[in-house]
Amino acid sequence: RPRLLSGMQPTSGSLHLGNYLGALTQWVSLQETHDALYCVVDLHALTVSPDPAALRERSRATAAQYLAAGVDPSRSALFLQSHVPAHVELAWVLSCITGYGEAGRMTQFKDKSAKQGAEGTTVGLFTYPVLMAADILLYDAAEVPVGEDQRQHLELTRNLAQRFNARFGPTFVVPEAYIPKETAKVFDLQDPTAKMSKTSSSPKGIVDVMDESSVTAKKIRSAVTDTDGVVRFDRAEKPGVSNLLAIHSALSGTAIADLESAFAGRGYGDLKKEVAEVVTGVLGPVRERTRELLADPDSLDEILAEGARRANAIAGETLAKVYDKIGLVRPR
Ligand code: ATP
Ligand code: MG
């Protein structure tokens, strides 16, 4: 079974429908075929200067949502990045073989630092991709599911692995991008040509996993559509209606063509009502289960501790090998 690693940042108290369909449901099925490790990358989230109380709450909430969606801790290691110190230790070593110019060419850094200005840009934001490389290389992950926005960072990870291996001898597995079979990309309900995003969508444009069903139904009722009144899938001409159809189809398993026939001659009100039912039918239980998990923080923390033990065992071994190869004297 190929080893696979993935994670999300705890940058919000709730994941959204895009995270659920684009990542979580995929993670759950990948457990069948892969030796998977799923982490909450809390150290990465420090790059957005979160409030400490919010960070603590969001880290547990993110882990709880992984579990509620079906990540099974008896099969996959579920852990918080900060519980495995080797991430930071390997990141330092890798930063010493990363070119300053090479890191400066990362487009995510260029975009974010341009927005924040030189004074608002931290060194952490600059070295973020090096920490991400450490996350991956510690576990000999053969495959890493990455969205388009992380592709360049994975390329850097591959380059660092190859560079290290060339200089110090075979050490790291060079990871491949895992290309998912066609996951639903979910668009913003208010701006259906932009992707639904934790940080750039307006609250009305996002379906949050932790929203009450009535709130979700209201957001879907107010989703932007068009004026021609025909329920038909056409991303270019009808992005709003197409988004609703794609969401329905991904969650209900009904083919889009069958949905078009079922809604022939009916209005957008009917479509929205049914989409809301399908969405709340799926997310409602996930939200409830998340609440139950959060109501018992001791059990949740025990699951995270167990995941960290498994992760530390693998990561510690890799780090020891690295320290030895680069010439650090090992303690007795
Ligand atoms: P941010 O705005 O902070 O980047 P995000 O909403 O883009 O947050 P991420 O934490 O970057 O969420 O992504 C977590 C996972 O969810 C990734 O695997 C990503 O590909 C997936 N994902 C994010 N948004 C969507 C979306 N709208 N549709 C499908 N998948 C998505
Ligand atoms: Mg993103």
Distance CA 199, CA 12 (A): 8
pLDDT at position 147 is 76
| d(CA 200, ligand 2 centre) in Å | 9
> Measuring CA to CA, which residue among 226, 232, 238 is closest to residue 261?
232
Checking ipTM against 0.90, whether it exceeds it is: yes
The residue from 185, 198, 273, 325 that is catalytic is 198
198 is catalytic: yes
Give yes or no for a contact between 173 and 191, defined as CB atoms under 8 angstroms apart.
Answer: no
Task: Identify the nearest ligand to the CA of 198 by its number.
Answer: 1
Q: Over its length of 332 residues, how does the chain's per-residue pLDDT go in tens digits?
A: 899 999 999 999 999 999 999 899 999 999 999 999 999 999 999 999 899 999 999 999 999 999 999 999 999 999 999 999 999 999 999 999 999 999 999 999 999 999 989 888 999 999 999 999 999 999 999 999 887 788 999 999 999 999 999 999 999 999 999 877 667 789 999 999 999 998 888 999 999 999 999 999 999 999 999 999 999 999 999 999 999 999 999 999 999 999 999 999 999 999 999 999 999 999 999 999 999 999 999 999 999 999 999 999 999 999 999 999 999 998 88
Probe target for ligand 1 pocket from 38, 71, 178, 197, with the most ligand atoms within 8 Å of CB: 197
Q: Give yes or no for residue 198 CB within 6 A of ligand 1.
A: yes
198, with CB counted inside 10 A (0-12, 13-18, 19+), is middle
pLDDT at position 171 is 98
| d(CA 188, ligand 2 centre) in Å | 13
Q: Give yes or no for residue 283 CB within 6 A of ligand 1.
A: no
* 265 annotated as belonging to a binding site for a ligand: no
* 269 annotated as belonging to a binding site for a ligand: no
Q: Which two tokens stand for residue 147?
A: 């969205």
| d(CA 19, ligand 1 centre) in Å | 5
Give the rounded distance of the alpha carbon of 203 from its chain centre. 19
Q: Give yes or no for residue 197 CB within 6 A of ligand 1.
A: yes
Q: Give yes or no for residue 185 CB within 6 A of ligand 1.
A: yes
Q: Give yes or no for residue 146 CB within 6 A of ligand 1.
A: no
> Measuring CA to CA, which residue among 290, 305, 302 is closest to residue 64?
290
Query: Residue 35: beta bridge partners?
Result: 3
Q: Which two tokens stand for residue 215?
A: 């709130």
The residue from 110, 181, 185, 195 that is catalytic is 195
pLDDT tens profile 14-63: 999 999 998 999 999 999 999 999 999 999 999 998 999 999 999 999 99
Distance CA 203, CA 201 (A): 6
DSSP 266-300: --HHHHHHHHHHHHHHHHHHHHHHHHHHHH-HHHH
Q: What is the percent of the chain where pLDDT is above 70?
A: 99
Give yes or no for a contact between 97 and 160, defined as CB atoms under 8 angstroms apart.
Answer: yes
181 is catalytic: no
Strands 3-8 and 176-178 turn out to be unpaired
pLDDT tens profile 169-187: 999 999 999 877 667 789 9
> Measuring CA to CA, which residue among 208, 220, 205 is closest to residue 273?
220
Q: Give yes or no for residue 210 CB within 6 A of ligand 1.
A: no
| d(CA 246, ligand 1 centre) in Å | 17
pLDDT at position 148 is 76
| d(CA 197, ligand 2 centre) in Å | 7
272 is catalytic: no
* 312 annotated as belonging to a binding site for a ligand: no
pLDDT at position 198 is 85
Q: Which two tokens stand for residue 205?
A: 């444009």
User: Element (H or E) spanning 309, and its range?
Assistant: helix 297-326
pLDDT at position 181 is 67
Query: Residue 3: beta bridge partners?
Result: 35
Half-sphere exposure of 274 (CA within 13 A, CB side): 21
Distance CA 215, CA 221 (A): 10
Nearest CA, atom 9, ligand 1: 8
pTM: 0.94
Q: Give yes or no for residue 19 CB within 6 A of ligand 1.
A: yes
Give yes or no for a contact between 184 and 246, defined as CB atoms under 8 angstroms apart.
Answer: yes
